[in-house]
Amino acid sequence: MKPVFILLTGLSGSGKTTLAKGLMNYYSNLENKVCHLDGDDLRKALHCNLGFSKEDRHKQLMLTAELSLSYLEKGISVIVSLIAPYNDHRVAAQKFIENKGFEFELVYVDCPIKICIKRDPKGLYKKVLKGEIKNFTGIDDPYEPPKHADLHLQTEKVNYQDSLQKMIEHNFIKTKQEKL
């Protein structure tokens, strides 16, 4: 089976990273080659010169897709947790991945902004509300819900275990056991 690019998109605090790590662990335990790329980690390590403008968000998504390609070409599926707030940016990333011959799966991790602000696992909303971060998605910059997600998870209504189970049941990556 060819490796797969899976993008989990949603607001900060919606549960993207937690779910991506859970999915990665599930597939890793089944001996599938898989890695997780997180937007915040990439921003700190590789994309530190990028801000939160629409243009910089597009750059971050496309740079992440390009980095992912290096894994995909080695037979490693990639699970990406990234806000990726704009439909046209997600479509561009999908075209890029698919034009290289790989499957692109989109998971919309949907959670209302008021719940994300309460969760605030990384303290970003506190910084935004203090004026330390500008152009932050959901506050002073829009988030465009995907028009055509392969899977839609409502993390305010469905807990982590059930959300993870829905992703597993979606069967993004064929496990080694299924290939036999």
Per residue in 135-161, pLDDT tens?
Answer: 789 998 999 999 999 999 999 999 999
Beta strands in 18-171 (DSSP E): 34-38, 77-81, 103-110, 151-154
Per-residue pLDDT reduced to its tens digit, 99-138? 999 999 999 999 999 999 999 988 889 998 899 988 789 9
* Residue 58 CA from chain centroid, whole number: 14
Residue 48 domain-assigned (yes or no)? yes
- The CATH number of the domain holding residue 73 is 3.40.50.300
Question: How many independent structural domains does the chain possess?
Answer: 1
Residue 162 domain-assigned (yes or no)? yes
